Amino acid sequence: MVYFLFLLIFTEGFVVLATELLAVRLMVPMVGSATDTVSVIIAAVLMPLAFGYYAGGNYRVRARKPGKRKASVRMKLLRNLVTAGFILSFGLSMIVINMLFAAFEAAGIYNRVLQTAVYAAIFIVYPVFLLGQTIPLASNFFTQKTLSQLKGRMLSFSTFGSFAGSILTTLVLMTYFGVHNTVIFTIGLLIFILFFLARKKQRIFHTMGLAIFGIAFVLNNTYAITNEGIVSDNRYATVKVLGRDNDPEHTRVLVVNNGYFAAYSDKKKPLFDYLKFIDEHYVAPIRDAKGPPKHVLVLGGGGFTVGMNDTKNDYTYVDINPDIKHISETYLLREKLTPNKHFIPEDARAYIRQNKKKYNMVVLDAYTAIKALPPSLLTREYFMDVRRALKDGSTIVMNVIACPNFGDKLSVRLDNTVRSVFPQINRTVAAPPDYSGWKDYRDKAGDCDANVIYSTTVHHADRDDLTIYTDDKNTTFMDKGKNP
């Protein structure tokens, strides 16, 4: 019995941490990964956990009123496991979350923090509160003499479970089996413990456990996920590849975390306006120019459509999702990358910080979803690292979703940040791509959902020249035509 109790406590720690990580991951396509929304999920786990410890420690079989008796500790644990498993089997389902956020849109609720808080209140808070009662309730099975010696062990086993839930969930299960199968595994752990905890007279809990596992399996099996159009759901992203019915060009769109990353057709031409702009003004000149191949760095691999028809120059694509190359070649491009294109599966910030190589052109294309803008790729320090990767006289091109008329603080402050590193950078607004006719719960179009292109040729000497013209000192007639 003692060994089983430690297994129960270990499993509680595992499931709580796995639930937190799964909730954070499942929210990324909906609300992004900024610290404000992540902190809501963390708070929705830690506070109920604390209250669960308190409530479990105060649970008594005998009620204060004479003649009334509460459920046994074993029965209380069984009920907690069943209830928590039932709620989590829905709350950790992509299908259910999609339905919830469709309801948010119908109700006009667009605030990301509010959306996350409502989701956590419905699906996370109460299950974690119930699971938090596990350690104090399990302590009732030990004698008082034994309990004083085992308090530290109980806490350590719960922490070991949390450690295993953190490492195994992210580095193994999500990476190699997908988020949906990780949910099935997590719910399965609860049901496994439930089976061992229930006695012969409590077989009803076995039936309930099987029903809960069945719900989790139906909502999260590979067939259900594929029916949603999802081709990958690892720890980094949920990826879809969409196609139009009866399209003679067989146009396909890569959707990553609900952001439109790339479009491709059998005609092998850029389809999104911002890609047409980049191809026409920056890729075509180096593709058609004479001379040795240029070195191009693309941070944010997307669908490898930047330079898709360029077989001359050398391209390095960096993307945090290691599966994106296989997904693009299999579902979007439907062909292997040409030999001049190389893929590095790494975080863009980490790569550019450690990079020693100099490039003729750097394309920043990791900002394709307004609610999933990566904060670490919007800082002055990041842009300084990008600048150091450019040869003198090289080009930087950046595509970002922002307000074309500086209608929000993000657009203004992002512009300030970029110009603090690239003072002479150009800003061009490309029309939003036409998503009409696509079968998808696409983002609601708004004034701030436009592709904004920043681009310039970088001369490193211009960082030291901050001279301005005044009525007192004006050298325009001398400066015209001089190298910066």
Residues belonging to the chain: 484
- What pLDDT shows up at residue 118? 97
- What pLDDT shows up at residue 463? 56
Dig out the tokens for 391 from the structure. 């040869």
Residue 240 parent element (H or E): strand 238-243
DSSP string covering 110-170, please? --HHHHHHHHHHHHTHHHHHHHHTHHHHHGGGS-HHHHHHHHHHHHHHHHHHHHHHHHIII
Dig out the tokens for 449 from the structure. 């959902």
Dig out the tokens for 422 from the structure. 């690239």
Q: Which CATH class is domain 258-463?
A: alpha beta
Residue 231 parent element (H or E): strand 230-233
- What pLDDT shows up at residue 339? 94
Task: Round to whole Å and give the CA distance between 351 and 475.
Answer: 42
Fold of 2-231: Growth Hormone; Chain: A; (1.20.1250)
Domain residue ranges in the chain: 2-231, 258-463
pLDDT by residue for the chain (484 residues), tens only, comes to 678 888 999 999 999 999 999 999 999 989 888 888 999 999 999 999 999 999 998 887 655 555 555 678 889 999 999 999 999 999 999 999 999 999 999 999 989 999 999 999 999 999 999 999 999 998 888 766 666 677 788 889 999 999 999 999 999 999 999 999 999 999 999 999 999 888 878 889 999 999 999 999 999 999 999 888 899 999 988 999 888 656 777 788 888 888 888 888 888 877 788 888 899 999 999 999 998 999 999 998 878 999 988 999 999 999 999 999 999 999 998 899 999 999 999 999 999 999 999 999 999 988 765 556 778 888 999 999 999 999 988 999 998 888 888 888 888 999 999 999 998 899 998 765 444 444 333 344 445 677 889 999 887 665 556 677 777 887 776 777 666 5
- What pLDDT shows up at residue 177? 94
User: Cα separations (Å) of 250 from 242, 310, 393?
Assistant: 10, 21, 39
Query: For residues 91-106, b (16+ Cβ closer than 10 Å) or e, as one string?
Result: bbbbbbbeebbeebee
